[in-house]
Amino acid sequence: MIEIQDLHKYFGALHVLKGINLNVEKGEVLSVIGASGSGKSTLLYCINGLEPVQQGKVVVDGTDVHAKGTDINKLRQQLGMVFQQWNSFPHLTALENVALAPKIVKGKSKAEAREIAAQQLKHVGLGEKLDVYPSALSGGQQQRLAIARALAMEPEYMLFDEATSALDPELVGEVLETMRMLAEEGMTMICVTHEMGFARDVSDRVAFFHQGVMEEIGPPEQIFGTPQSEHTQKFLANVR
């Protein structure tokens, strides 16, 4: 379970997150929506400790992410993350991309790491591309590679930071399909997204962020059907 308590985050003088309180249960799929600059992505960065926080805390399965003495590298193995930019390692084949972290971080043998990698790549539909370099893959395939790479660490949670925003429109579908598959398999997911269809169909809950505040959270029917906050209504009217 991920517990976020009174979380404040500043970039210099800029107050990016203004007291976020949020719990995400195991098995839940939470979509986070909101305009650019509303603090959605920053929230994800704070959850896996890529950004320090100034006040409040994030607790993942009982471990305080930002506490001194927390082994952040170990904790991050529980928190797979997929970014807007897919960031495949260009010098490694698809298989090596996925096998690298299990090998060096988890200390798996080379054969074991490759087996895990091959399995995860098949899982996301890249079973035919094991020995291909990322430069020969499409954006959608590279993003699925990034998903497989995160899954190879066998995380308990997956964080998606606008995973489809940098893709050509015709490639968005295959990545959303992969995310949908993970959700159906019971993966706990926090998805920062601009894909309202995905948020509506796949999420258990949807949170709306506005200027660093979580204005509204609830089941998709409520957020999309009868939004309470004026900002949510405005935002949804604009994206439709």
Partner 1 sequence: MEPTVSFFSGFAPKDLLFLGEAALRTMWISVLSISIGTVLGVVFGWILYEGKWAAALTVAPILDVFRSVPLIIQLVLFYNFAPIVGLNLDPFASGVVILTIYTASLVANVARGGIEAVQPSMRRAARSLGMSYWQDLRHVVLPIGGRAVFPAWVGVALGVMKDSALVSVLGYVELLKASQILITRTQEPFLILTLAGAFYFALSYPISRYAASLERKWAQ
Which residue, 44 or 223, has its beta carbon nearer to partner 1?
44
Residues contacting residue 74 through CB under 8 Å, at least 6 positions apart: none
Pairing of strands 2-11, 14-24: antiparallel
Rounded-to-integer distance, Cα 228 and Cα 208, Å: 11
Instruction: Tell me if 76 contacts partner 1 by CB under 8 A.
Output: yes
Comparing CA positions, the residue from 48, 127, 57, 56 lying closest to residue 94 is 127
CB of 78 to partner 1, least distance (A): 9
Instruction: Tell me if 150 contacts partner 1 by CB under 8 A.
Output: yes
CB of 104 to partner 1, least distance (A): 5
Question: Which of 3, 70, 89, 222 contacts partner 1 by CB under 8 A?
Answer: 89
Question: Which of 91, 111, 185, 238 contacts partner 1 by CB under 8 A?
Answer: 91
Instruction: Tell me if 107 contacts partner 1 by CB under 8 A.
Output: no
Stretch that binds partner 1, among 21-29, 77-85, 205-213, 216-224 (CB under 8 A): 77-85
CB of 220 to partner 1, least distance (A): 27
Comparing CA positions, the residue from 14, 94, 202, 55 lying closest to residue 191 is 202
**Contact call for residues 77 and 120 (beta carbons, < 8 A):** no
